[in-house]
Amino acid sequence: MLRKFLLLIGLAFTLTACATPEPPRFGPDGRPLPQIYRIDSSDTSEIQFRVLDGVNALRAASGAGQVKLSAELNAAAATHAQDMSLQNRPWHFGSDGSSPLDRVQRAGYRGGLLGENISETYESELETLAAWMTQPDTRGVILDPRATDLGIAWFQEPSGKIWWTLITGQASTAALQG
């Protein structure tokens, strides 16, 4: 009987240790280290639609019309997110010298490019969207009333760093009628 009791007590302590949250870790500056936001490849559509919903809510609040996801803009954004990681710098030009316009045309987008937002961060998609909204130039890309299409993609490095790319476009009149 005593043996069963000790076994149960040991099991209870083991389970309690498993449930104890890890205390925050601090860097050399005394500030908490960022929590790594891990993205699984199965999360792609969930993240894209979460960004789309966030963008459309912000656009509605500003009086702009809704945008829809574009497979071509998503592809152009994915290409650039991975390329920024390879270059190890957030900027709008590809390692081959390509511009955002070049990338959306290569991806087969038939409308007009309106803007591109980029980010190098450890933050989630909604934290990144919120950060873009704090700057006039990136907020303007998101809220541009001419926008009808949206592309969003990312590349996450093994370290957890995420390279985000958001692209807005305006569907061509032929695409709207067709």
Whole-angstrom distance, CA of residue 107 vs CA of residue 77: 9
| Strand order, beta sheet including 149-156 | 68-69, 149-156, 162-170, 112-121
Structural domain boundaries of the chain? 62-175
Report the pLDDT value the prediction gives residue 39, as an integer from 0 to 100: 80
Report the pLDDT value the prediction gives residue 40, as an integer from 0 to 100: 84
DSSP label at 104?
H
For the cut 50, the answer to whether the pLDDT of residue 109 exceeds it is yes
Report the pLDDT value the prediction gives residue 28, as an integer from 0 to 100: 82
Read off the pLDDT of residues 49-104 as tens digits, 9 standing for 90 and up: 999 999 999 999 999 999 999 999 999 999 999 999 999 989 999 999 999 999 99
Tell me what the mean pLDDT of segment 95-116 comes to. 97
DSSP label at 134?
T
Give the CATH superfamily of 62-175. CAP (3.40.33.10)
Mean pLDDT of all residues in the chain?
Answer: 86
pTM > 0.75: yes
Report the pLDDT value the prediction gives residue 54, as an integer from 0 to 100: 97
pLDDT band at 118 (very low <50, low <70, confident <90, very high): very high
